[in-house]
């Protein structure tokens, strides 16, 4: 592996046991391989989190830029109640 850098890492006994078991079971060829895999997973999770966060921020920004008038909580509750009532009535008609 070109340009590899050796590091020292302190881990809990439970973490080291999990790594040892993975190596002993053949899942990884070495502790180093297991640690490199852990770092790859960590990097992928960070990237995915950043992408999800950016998507949420974009949705919030679109919402804030939406020119339609705001709806009050009372109006939203009323609309939801009417929707639920209509759904219940449609289910009753379908059951007949």
What's the predicted TM-score (pTM) here?
0.62
Percentage of the chain modeled with pLDDT above 70: 99
Q: Residue 53 and residue 47: Cα distance in Å, rounded? A: 10
Domain spans, the chain: 9-66
CB crowding 38-50: b at 16 or more within 10 Å, else e:
eeeeeeeeeeeee
| pLDDT level of residue 58 (50, 70, 90 thresholds) | very high
């Amino acid at each position: 592996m070109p340009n590899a850098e050796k590091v020292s890492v302190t881990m809990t006994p439970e973490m080291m046991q999990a790594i040892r078991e993975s190596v002993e079971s053949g899942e990884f060829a070495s502790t180093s391989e297991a640690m490199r895999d852990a770092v790859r997973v960590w990097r992928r999770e960070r990237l995915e989190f950043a992408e999800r966060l950016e998507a949420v921020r974009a949705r919030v920004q679109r919402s804030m830029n939406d020119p339609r008038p705001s709806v009050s909580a009372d109006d939203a509750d009323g609309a939801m109640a009417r929707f639920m009532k209509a759904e219940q009535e449609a289910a009753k008609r379908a059951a007949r």
